[in-house]
Structure formats: structure tokens, C-alpha cells
């Protein structure tokens, strides 16, 4: 088990985490305000960028979701797992 | 169904080894007002929620709570992973350690294991959404107490993030309650 993740991979992962969180916020807001066009616009813009970043990340470092493709061997299992990452190094 | 995404909702940074603080943080891993209780409570209430807004908010907040449970487990793990038995001896984490080693376990800060009696599902959307709003405030208060005793800046940062989420959830549940009440007012039977 290694908690090491190089700077480039970590920065991309952190950016994905930011977009993912923004989507959690727009998702919850839209659940109770489904006709808010401004919020929907924001959600759709975040969603598009999120998908783009995920494709870049997963092609380079392996799947973050089991539904995605991988080279051999199955890179989904690679460390570090989320609770092992040292976000400062 | 659910799909796991191999990432945390918020980056957990921990700068110290502190088994005593880990034991207190377990309150939110398996305590009455913790993240496990929250997730199971909301996801269980979905079947009898009458409005689409309510079904969506219970599903999505319930799911977010499981991501928070993962964050709490990660804080606890990082606080104890490098601790020697000597560093654990005499701390409030010692009793946990002799049973579970360094694995997080869903019990509260005093070691009482998680139980389904921490949650409720009344089959009544008004009762359930009021319970959910109260649960968010109780969780927010627990985070206030935890933040007041944390002396690790990384842990405090993650706890502040989680505290903010309780406030957002309280707001969304309040809106879901208003929508349910409006819906019920529309179909009054006399």
C-alpha cells in the first residue's frame, strides 16, 4: 500500500472533486427548485466539465468508477485508495 | 442502485496522531446523530414520501451522508494509523483498540454500538421531514462540540466542511416539507 500520488494526478483528482461537489450542490438545490433555469444552466455547465475531466483522468490513471474501461491489468484497484491519499505531498 | 466513485467528497488532511480525538470523532461514525444514522434514516424514508421533490432529496442527501461517513472514517483512520500501542494506552481509544484494532467501528464516542433505534421512518412525510430537520441540527451541534475540542487544523477543516453541509441539508429538507404541505393543502378531503 502506498499513499503516494504524484502532483499532477493529485491536482487533476482535486479538480474533479471540486466539480463533483459543485454538482452535489446544484443537484440538491434542483431537487427542490426543479424549474430554476439559472441553476440548471450552472448544473449543466459543471456536468459537462466534470465528464471531460473524468475522461482525461480515467484514460491516464484508471477508472474511478467500475463502469469505465481499463487497460490490463484492471487499474481500478490501484493504490492509493481515497482514505490513503496524502493530499499535501 | 449505487455506484461507488473512488474519491472522497472532501480532501481529508490530518497533521497529527491523536487516538483520543479519533475516539471522539467516532461519535459521527456510529452515534445517534452521526453520518451512518443520517444516511440510513433518509434512504429508509423514501418509499412513503409522496412528492417527487421529497423522493429526490431523500435519495440524494441520504447518498451524500454515506460520503460523509467515509470522510469521518478517513479522519479516524488517519488519526490512529501511526499510533503505537504505547500512544494508545491510557487514552479513551484504548477500549476500542482492544476490540477493533485500528479499524473504525460504528459506535459513539463512549463506545455504544450503532443501533437502528437511532433512526425513524414513520410512514408519514410530515413527521419524517420534521425528524430530518431536527437530525440535521443535532448533527450540526455535534460538529460544533467536536470543532471546539479539535486541536488538529486539518481535522478542524474537514469538520467545518461537514458542519456546513448539515446547514444546507436543513435548508433543503425545509423546502421539501413546504412542498409536501402545499401538495396536501391542494387535496383536502372533508
Binned at pLDDT 50, 70 and 90, residue B189 comes out as low
Is A41 an 8 Å CB contact of chain B?
A: no
From B39, B54, B29, B34, select the one nearest B2 (Cα to Cα).
B39
What torsion, rounded to 10 degrees, do the Cα atoms B8, B13, B19, B25 define?
A: -50
The predicted pLDDT at position B67 comes to: 98
In chain B, what residues touch A35 (CB-CB under 8 Å)?
none
Q: What is the mean pLDDT of residues B161-177?
A: 98
Counted domains in chain B = 1
B22 and B76 in contact (C-beta within 8 Å)?
yes
Tell me how close the Cα of B143 comes to any Cα of chain A, in angstroms: 20
Mean pLDDT, chain B, rounded, equals 97
CB atoms under 10 Å from CB of B167, counted, come to 13
- pTM value > 0.90: yes
Pairwise CB contact (< 8 Å): B13 & A88: yes
Does the residue B129 lie in any domain? Answer: yes
Q: Enumerate residues 6+ apart whose C-beta is below 8 A from A38.
A: none
Does the residue B106 lie in any domain? Answer: yes
pLDDT of A1 higher than 70: no
| Percent of all residues in chain A with a pLDDT value above 70, rounded to a whole number | 99
pLDDT tens sequence across B59-89? 999 999 999 999 999 999 999 999 999 999 9
DSSP string, B41-63: HHHHGGGG--SHHHHHHHHHHHH
**What are the CA-CA distances from residue B144 to residues B26, B28, B107, B109, B140 (Å)?**
15, 12, 19, 15, 6
Q: What is the mean pLDDT of residues B45-71?
A: 98
Q: Based on the number of CB atoms within 10 Å of its own CB, is B147 exposed (0-12), middle (13-18) or buried (19 or more)?
A: middle
Q: Which residue is listed with cell 434512504?
A: B43
Q: What is the mean pLDDT of residues B101-130?
A: 98
* Number of DSSP helices (H) and strands (E) in chain B, helices first: 8, 0
Binned at pLDDT 50, 70 and 90, residue B139 comes out as very high
pLDDT of A78 higher than 90: yes
Q: What is the mean pLDDT of residues A42-52?
A: 98
pLDDT of A24 higher than 90: yes
Does the residue B3 lie in any domain? Answer: no
From A69, A44, A45, select the one nearest A58 (Cα to Cα).
A69
- Which phi and psi (to 5°) does residue B113 adopt? -65, 155
pLDDT of A79 higher than 80: yes
* Domain of residue B131, residue span: 19-111+125-184
Q: What is the mean pLDDT of residues A64-82?
A: 97
pLDDT of B188 higher than 90: no
Q: ipTM score of the complex?
A: 0.96
Q: What is residue A80's DSSP assignment? A: P
Does the residue B141 lie in any domain? Answer: yes
Pairwise CB contact (< 8 Å): A20 & B11: no
pLDDT tens sequence across B152-167? 999 999 999 999 999 9
Mean pLDDT, chain A, rounded, equals 96
The predicted pLDDT at position B82 comes to: 98
Is A73 an 8 Å CB contact of chain B?
A: no
Chain-centre distance for alpha carbon A19: 7
Q: Which of B6, B57, B179 shows the shortest C-beta gap to A64? A: B6
In chain B, what residues touch A67 (CB-CB under 8 Å)?
3
Q: What is the spatial distance between Cα B75 and Cα B78, in angstroms, rounded to a whole number?
A: 5
Q: What is the CATH number of the domain that holds B107?
A: 1.20.1260.10
In chain B, what residues touch A64 (CB-CB under 8 Å)?
5-7
Greatest Cα pair distance, chain B, in angstroms, is 70
Amino acid at each position: 500500500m502506498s499513499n503516494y500520488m504524484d502532483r499532477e494526478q493529485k491536482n487533476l483528482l482535486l479538480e474533479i472533486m471540486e466539480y463533483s461537489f459543485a454538482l452535489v450542490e446544484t443537484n440538491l438545490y434542483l431537487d427542490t427548485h426543479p424549474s430554476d433555469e439559472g441553476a440548471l444552466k450552472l448544473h449543466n455547465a459543471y456536468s459537462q466539465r466534470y465528464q471531460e475531466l473524468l475522461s482525461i483522468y480515467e484514460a491516464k490513471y484508471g477508472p474511478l468508477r467500475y463502469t469505465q474501461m481499463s487497460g490490463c491489468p484492471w487499474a481500478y484497484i490501484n493504490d492509493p485508495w481515497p482514505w490513503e491519499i496524502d493530499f499535501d505531498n | 442502485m449505487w455506484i461507488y466513485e473512488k474519491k472522497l467528497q472532501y480532501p481529508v488532511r490530518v497533521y497529527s496522531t491523536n487516538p483520543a480525538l479519533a475516539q471522539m470523532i467516532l461519535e459521527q461514525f456510529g452515534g445517534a446523530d452521526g453520518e451512518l444514522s443520517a444516511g440510513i434514516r433518509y434512504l429508509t424514508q423514501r418509499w412513503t414520501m409522496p412528492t417527487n421533490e421529497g423522493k429526490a432529496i431523500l435519495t440524494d442527501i441520504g447518498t451524500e451522508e454515506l460520503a460523509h461517513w467515509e470522510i469521518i472514517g478517513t479522519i479516524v483512520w488517519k488519526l490512529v494509523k501511526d499510533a503505537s500501542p504505547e500512544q494508545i494506552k491510557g487514552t479513551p481509544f484504548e477500549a476500542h483498540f482492544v476490540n477493533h484494532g485500528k479499524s473504525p467501528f460504528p459506535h459513539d464516542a463512549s463506545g455504544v454500538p450503532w443501533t437502528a433505534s437511532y433512526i425513524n421512518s414513520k410512514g408519514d412525510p410530515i413527521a419524517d421531514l420534521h425528524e430530518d430537520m431536527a437530525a440535521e441540527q443535532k448533527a450540526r451541534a455535534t460538529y460544533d462540540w467536536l470543532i471546539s475540542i479539535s486541536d488538529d487544523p486539518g481535522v478542524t477543516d474537514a469538520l467545518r466542511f461537514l458542519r456546513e453541509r448539515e446547514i444546507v441539508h436543513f435548508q433543503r429538507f425545509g423546502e421539501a416539507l413546504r412542498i409536501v404541505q402545499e401538495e396536501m393543502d391542494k387535496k383536502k378531503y372533508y
